[in-house]
Structure 1
Amino acid sequence: MARAGITPERLTRAAAELADEEGFDNLTVSAVARRLGVRDPSLYAHIRNARELKERVALLALEELADAAAAAVAGRAGRDALVAFADAYRGYALGHPGRYAAARFELDIRTVAGSAAPRHSELTRAVLRGYGLPEPDQTDAVRFLHGTFHGYVTLEAAGGFRHTPRSADDSWAWLLDTLDFALRNRPRP
């Protein structure tokens, strides 16, 4: 019997908040139970194990990130869409570090298919339509953008840019200008 007041949604939200505060790697069923003021067995009415708890946080994070990116790029094209998309990505990663880490959690293929994960690629491709890239360049560009964004925000979140005279925001703007230039000037076969 499920404990009154604990729902799968409340459990997932509490786990996501805890991941942001303590780190996704530190997320455990016991820690979430303590946060909710219940004993561990109370949560097993809603989840099978710790892996399922992490999967739920990952799915929530993917959904939230896709929603933020979609709202940011709506009605935009070209460089404006690229900047809005990138800023949404960076803002989410820095504002929700545990959830952002969860979005990188390995999910099985059936779970991915029913999640917001495919939306990330579709949104990136929508941004790239403004650059007129044919395949396979478009697939390469999706990987290029995600790799660049992930690398930058990972270094930034770890404090990698604190000890330089140039602000991380200024470098981010430079990075986006450079990406835009690269995408607009990609040699065509």
Structure 2
Amino acid sequence: MARAGLTTERVARAGADLADEIGLERVTLSEVARRFEVKVPSLYSHVRSSDDLRAQIALIALQEMADLAASAVAGRSGQQALVALGHVYRDYGRDFPGRYDATQVRLDAETAAASAGPRHASMLRAVLRAYDLSEDEQTHAARLLGSVFHGFVSLERSGGFAHSTPAPQQSWEHILDSLDAMLRSWSARHD
């Protein structure tokens, strides 16, 4: 590939693909440079460092997940929206493991504000509005959902459920039903 064809987006997308193949922690500028058959200094006008590359991968992943979530929850509310959102997280974690890991990369405040992160937060709050929670309670509930979704995805991907029954899918469905029931009764317990 010709060096002239390099752009920040192409470099970041190559890094994202590589992260899914070999794991985010192993993505380096050297690995991406090999993909483009260029030397590492050729990448410096597009990304400053491996950490900057991982941040760019995070931006891609957050945008992709936001797009998937928006499509999944459109026209749904309550339990249907909650389940759809949960499936987006789980499916994305399985289908794009390196990119999913990148969603956990800590971004500086300016980058985070310009990312799809606020869009995720807005969608999650929209899902939670069906449960009639105050703004503060929505924050607590959003943290709970994020912890449960991420925890399940992480444990499943690491093989944490591989040697036990019932199947992870059954647990996942039970968890989503339980989250819905808990959220429906949340305000009564916290008034």
Deviations 1:93-125 (CA, angstroms, capped at 9, x unpaired): 111111111111111101111111111111110
Structure 2 partner of 1:123: 123
Alignment of 1:138-149 (within 5 A): 138-149=138-149
Q: CA deviation at 1:50?
A: 1.7
Distance in 1 between residues matched to 2:165 and 2:142, nearest whole Å: 31
Which 5+ residue runs of structure 1 have no aligned equivalent? none
Alignment of 1:146-157 (within 5 A): 146-157=146-157
Distance in 2 between residues matched to 1:156 and 1:114, nearest whole Å: 31
Q: CA deviation at 1:135?
A: 2.6
Alignment of 1:95-114 (within 5 A): 95-114=95-114
Q: CA deviation at 1:37?
A: 1.7
Which 5+ residue runs of structure 2 have no aligned equivalent? none
Deviations 1:41-74 (CA, angstroms, capped at 9, x unpaired): 2111212222211111011111111111111000
Number of aligned pairs?
Answer: 188
RMSD: 1.2
Distance in 1 between residues matched to 2:70 and 2:82, nearest whole Å: 12
Structure 2 partner of 1:16: 16
**Which one has the bigger helix percentage?**
2
The reply to whether residue 25 of structure 1 matches residue 21 of structure 2 is no
Deviates more, 1:2-11 or 1:109-118: 2-11
Q: Which runs of 4+ in 1 moved over 3 A?
A: none
Distance in 2 between residues matched to 1:184 and 1:22, nearest whole Å: 41
The reply to whether residue 173 of structure 1 matches residue 173 of structure 2 is yes
Structure 2 partner of 1:7: 7
Scaled by the length of structure 1, the TM-score of the pair is 0.96
Structure 1 partner of 2:51: 51
Deviations 1:23-53 (CA, angstroms, capped at 9, x unpaired): 1111100000111222112111212222211
Distance in 1 between residues matched to 2:136 and 2:52, nearest whole Å: 35
Structure 1 partner of 2:86: 86
Distance in 1 between residues matched to 2:126 and 2:65, nearest whole Å: 16
Scaled by the length of structure 2, the TM-score of the pair is 0.95
Q: CA deviation at 1:164?
A: 1.1
Distance in 2 between residues matched to 1:140 and 1:53, nearest whole Å: 32
Percent identical among aligned pairs is 51
Structure 2 partner of 1:64: 64
Amino acid of the structure 2 residue aligned with 1:161: F
Distance in 1 between residues matched to 2:136 and 2:128, nearest whole Å: 12
Question: What SS is found at the alignment partner of 2:3?
Answer: coil
Structure 2 partner of 1:75: 75
Distance in 2 between residues matched to 1:165 and 1:104, nearest whole Å: 29
